[in-house]
Structure 1
């Protein structure tokens, strides 16, 4: 067992940052990763915009900007002018009405696309019945009908694709619509030329742009449906928020009737009635009644929680048994549910490094595809058909309305292959590979009470080699109790406890809470005090009115008293060492310049602490205990958990230094830090991945990149630490699979579409078939990400 007890000093370099503002834009019209790259480029090119993060799935852009230089409204107008209709989001998180409205509009568009695809494919196939041995239908089988069908297809349902593609090309932001638009217009134009000038002996293939558009619309319908399923978890979270609340008068019985009003009109301090079977509409504190709540939708814990007067309740949780009245404490975006929704949305916007790389590549993807299509046309029109003249016969095509079989000309063959290259390439699959998996992964974590703040966190987590745990409030329950009170000199045990509780009455540290709780239990009045000063990781000092006169009272660890030149008797040191060997935390007290006694506080390990540590070690991770407690107490906890590496008696600044040292070693980096208190904030900020418990301080939760949720008053389990790492590994396995498929697909499909197999096998992809494969590629990527929801967790509940 490695034990380090000397303080470790970390160095921090202060940085100056100018004040920036963050805004969220809802951005429509993005079809692929090329669009994402284009939107980000448009935003970052504007003066005053420092950074922009765009998510293809949630259709959101989060920008950091200098409000003195630019306003988000003007940025939204710029994007709208570039073909990406945008608007500023007013609130911190998407609201259920807005989300539902967007989802309904998306579903309406999907139905329209599906109907359009079905009609196009149906009439195109109907006109070719005679090719498949069926009867030749009058009018429908004529070339004039196919020209009219292609014209209507391009300039009615295909108009949006062509205009968007042209706009992207004009602004040097080509996207998937650019490729599809070029392909369909090329096929249509060549067919019109063949129809107008039959002496050229070209064939007409009006069916190809029609079928191509049909497959594109069909594929986008399937893709949109799959993307909607991927975002369903966020929609379910939003649906937890009730739309109405029932106001009652102060002091009114929870069984009596109230007035129903929209939940957004409720104000802090008002009383709200909640009956059995109803959801809690706002965050609040129970003032009348008692009940059990189902909080699984927020915490992931399925066991109902008993609540009585004084208990905190969260919006979205389900009242199971009794009628209650609660006093509203948080409303709107300040509720726990709203913060969870905002956290999940933010997580899906923050990109993993691999996604940034993919989006950058996809931004130039369309240029590369257009260049390959041009080279394909040039090669086959100039040299390919001369080297292998048999290919002109092998791909002979007959068009309804034309007399007999016509030999495909080199120009038309080259054009068809170039069109196939344009439409078979799929930047969408590349663009969807990472964000869909991260969306499902972060949503799945939220369902289990694990709030992951970004895709970058997931990527870093799956590479972890070391997990560092704080002791008090993290490995332990954080609800210590006073076990020993050993005064020195003339003090009585009750006086010692009274002085200690009076000094700590303003603190929310677990040890301070234990002292105050024990004083209240013994009905000891807290003494008046002033000039409170806390030194994190050491102790506290205050002026306390004791026996009619102000006295300086110090309370803390041994180093704290020694720092103030207060000597602790040798026999007391031995007594403190003995108590620490039993796993207790020893707190020393001094009045004035004289030692006054010690108080021992014991905390219980979390029930699943040993199981969690064992699980992490079985995954090959190094587990480290980091505490400000004395070495003896740290060793006692470590032995129970089978932790080998311990750093004890460490100050808060030294904790960050130790984490940094672990990060500097290739055998222990990357490093995760798990903590809950203000003392842990520097180490949490330093770690590659920081995990905080919801019961911890605000600064710890703000610093952390992962927050573990739990019911108010219920000890937060530790096994979600293990589950979060498992989730990250499963998510990035899906990302690797998606990227492998997307890259493999494009690497194989583009050469085949360019005619690589044509001379030897006589195989070439027609533009409609190429479009079908392109659509299928995106659908497969999203569907594979959805399979993440079938991830099997290690049994721990």
Structure 2
């Protein structure tokens, strides 16, 4: 079966009942294998068999439910969505203000006598009941018009058999309006006008529309803030750049930059695209990518990325990746994709939301009828119960509980340099019980470095390093690079050897002139020096060699004119943050395992430095995946941290794959979480963020369910059965409006999540 998928922008959803209905109907279409609708992002992800059904047919099915579905394109971006959201907020605010003013006027007129306020006789319910009712009626009409979307969306949805939150408001306010209008007619016809004038619900209808509209506005404004992280990232990309041409400089739009263009980046400017420095050096602030505040020194041939900030030096760069290929664009796309996904914990709320609104309508009707027929209540009281149940129920709170937290959590992760690829991963990461680290390039820097220089027989360390670098200057051995790099770091001039002879696996024989003196040098392992009868190899040297070897270091000996002159120790150094990271994971109750292809002795030495007690050494790349499976079978939820191509299968096999952003693309693609700066602290940061997000989601779900479980019975008059109060529909409407706002506001707290917060 051929499988295709597309993402659609859904317009017209108003609550979780809407998204749940789309999921159920579209998911049941023949040929559709998966349909996931996200209320917070207003997007649907649909997987289907193009042989059995077309994307057009799917869109038509969605349209038949009363919603519009436009296939999202690569040209859709967060900027356009942000502008659309801003326009929507302005329109909502423009309707909200006059609706509230008019609702308050109606309420003042209706409630004045209850609070001892004297009204003019012309509009007093006792003196001029008809005028009193007509003025309220006329003031309500523009409120109904301003809130017309409740009826335009809610009534058709009800008639289609898929009622939503707007349906509840439409029925509740509509019932209040019709009942009050009927009373107005009876007042005009002279049927007990004074009593009828005190039995109007125009103010309830007006205030319900105003309060729910306020809630929707606050909710929309809060939802807009859930994408702040993406907006901030997008704002980092400059709009123009300085293009270097043969005849001078020219300002161009960033969209006009092409691969291989040369660009001038002045101090204080943001880098427009990804590329390589061809001239100059400067400190570059990469915090927007990595979450690390300290600038990084960049020199010729170093890579720089679009959106980062050039601090203090002029740079000339060559563009290598532009447009959607830049690191910034890829990060934004990854975060957007993650924000559009669902966590498994949302399934229960989605299932309940599908049947929630019809159930509430039934409960409201039963409650009202029960009070009227069984409770001997008058029609006015029963109607108030009916309306209160309708308007206090809030499916939105349940529908927004999970996606808003995921949106804010993944956005905050991006700001901290932790890219989480889906809501499912975000949920699973909180359960991780064991973290497996690859050694080389993950726990260690991934490049050998000189760690110790010991000089004997009157030689000094600098001379020893220069002789060793000279001997290795023609070698292609990986350790040679470490020695030459160390010489360069310390500013040592490397002499040119007059002769050079390599003995593979043992060492180098070389001679060179240095400061007017001739040196015949042997440089290699202890066996090589013994073979050449070098003097000075005694028991003390053996002990020193053993101590260094026990630390996982490779020891190389240098002899001059047949006498031992000193030794150099080389190792792949542990990352500075490794020990603290392992300690922090332990505090979080997480087991740590080091997995490496190195020999047991070296592996144990590195593990001891890092504070890791469990080591699996001598593992071939093909067998890393098997070790992950073995841990999973023992009951562990495993996170694998790696950076190389040989880590890709293990990353894919682990419950949660975490790739160092400094690694190669195949490792990053295989992972579920990417640490952009390659800093090990990001592992605990990712798990801590997951725990904090899931705790936030559980809070949201608890309050959403608790609100409805408690609120609906109270609105139905359960307390009144025991002599308690009933719920005024206006209070119910305000509570419903605030319930959604509270859920989204709680999710927004994740914007201030700090890395040292590891969750509950």
TM-score of the superposed pair, with normalisation by structure 1: 0.77
Task: Verify: 1:434 aligned to 2:381, yes or no.
Answer: no
1:729-779 superposed Cα distances (whole Å, 9 cap, x missing partner): 111221121111111111111000000111333411122211101011111
Match of 1:328 among 319, 333, 336: 319
* Residue 514 (structure 2) aligns with: none
Match of 2:84 among 102, 106, 110: 102
Alignment of 1:386-535 (within 5 A): 392=377, 409=378, 411-481=379-449, 498=476
* Residue 65 (structure 1) aligns with: 48
Change (3 A) 1:483 1:448: closer
Q: Is the 8 A contact 1:580 1:630 kept in 2?
A: no
The count of residues paired between Structure 1 and Structure 2 equals 665
1:130 to partner: Cα distance: 3.7
Match of 2:641 among 674, 698, 706: 674
Return 5+ residue gaps in structure 2 as ranges: 125-130, 453-469, 489-493, 498-543, 556-567
1:302-336 superposed Cα distances (whole Å, 9 cap, x missing partner): 11122222221111111222232321111121111
Task: Verify: 1:215 aligned to 2:190, yes or no.
Answer: no
Q: Is the 8 A contact 1:99 1:235 kept in 2?
A: no
**SS in structure 2 of the partner of residue 472 of structure 1:** helix
* Residue 292 (structure 2) aligns with: 301
Query: How many angstroms apart in 2 are the aligned matches of 1:451 and 1:364?
Result: 35
Match of 2:687 among 725, 734, 757: 725
* Residue 100 (structure 2) aligns with: 118
1:404-453 superposed Cα distances (whole Å, 9 cap, x missing partner): xxxxx2x3322221211111011111112112222221111111111111
* Residue 583 (structure 1) aligns with: 552
Query: How many angstroms apart in 2 are the aligned matches of 1:286 and 1:103?
Result: 39
* Residue 33 (structure 1) aligns with: 16
Query: How many angstroms apart in 2 are the aligned matches of 1:456 and 1:433?
Result: 15
Match of 1:258 among 242, 250, 268: 250
Q: Is the 8 A contact 2:472 2:480 kept in 1?
A: no
Task: Verify: 1:247 aligned to 2:248, yes or no.
Answer: no
* Residue 746 (structure 2) aligns with: 784
1:88 to partner: Cα distance: 2.3
Q: Is the 8 A contact 1:110 1:224 kept in 2?
A: no
Query: How many angstroms apart in 2 are the aligned matches of 1:59 and 1:513?
Result: 54
Query: How many angstroms apart in 2 are the aligned matches of 1:80 and 1:516?
Result: 68
* Residue 691 (structure 1) aligns with: 658
Alignment of 1:175-254 (within 5 A): 175-197=164-186, 199=191, 203-249=199-245
Query: How many angstroms apart in 1 are the aligned matches of 2:483 and 2:162?
Result: 64
* Residue 707 (structure 2) aligns with: 745
Greater relative CO (CA pairs within 8 A, separation 6+): 1
* Residue 589 (structure 2) aligns with: 620
Query: How many angstroms apart in 1 are the aligned matches of 2:415 and 2:96?
Result: 32
**SS in structure 1 of the partner of residue 345 of structure 2:** helix
1:492-525 superposed Cα distances (whole Å, 9 cap, x missing partner): 9979954x67xxxxxxxxx99979999999999x
**SS in structure 2 of the partner of residue 127 of structure 1:** helix
TM-score of the superposed pair, with normalisation by structure 2: 0.81
1:44-82 superposed Cα distances (whole Å, 9 cap, x missing partner): 234443323322222222333345555545544543453
Q: Is the 8 A contact 2:660 2:679 kept in 1?
A: no
Change (3 A) 1:517 1:793: closer
* Residue 640 (structure 1) aligns with: 609
Query: How many angstroms apart in 2 are the aligned matches of 1:763 and 1:325?
Result: 75
* Residue 703 (structure 1) aligns with: 670
1:99 to partner: Cα distance: 2.8
1:468 to partner: Cα distance: 0.8
* Residue 660 (structure 1) aligns with: 629
* Residue 161 (structure 1) aligns with: 150
Change (3 A) 1:495 1:512: closer
Query: How many angstroms apart in 2 are the aligned matches of 1:691 and 1:244?
Result: 35
**SS in structure 2 of the partner of residue 757 of structure 1:** helix
Q: Is the 8 A contact 1:290 1:309 kept in 2?
A: yes
1:140-180 superposed Cα distances (whole Å, 9 cap, x missing partner): 971012223333333x1222111211232234332111111
Change (3 A) 1:159 1:462: same
Give RMSD over aligned pairs: 3.3
1:650 to partner: Cα distance: 1.3
Q: Is the 8 A contact 2:99 2:146 kept in 1?
A: no
Change (3 A) 1:115 1:40: same
* Residue 360 (structure 2) aligns with: 369
Deviates more, 1:229-238 or 1:139-148: 139-148
* Residue 262 (structure 2) aligns with: 271
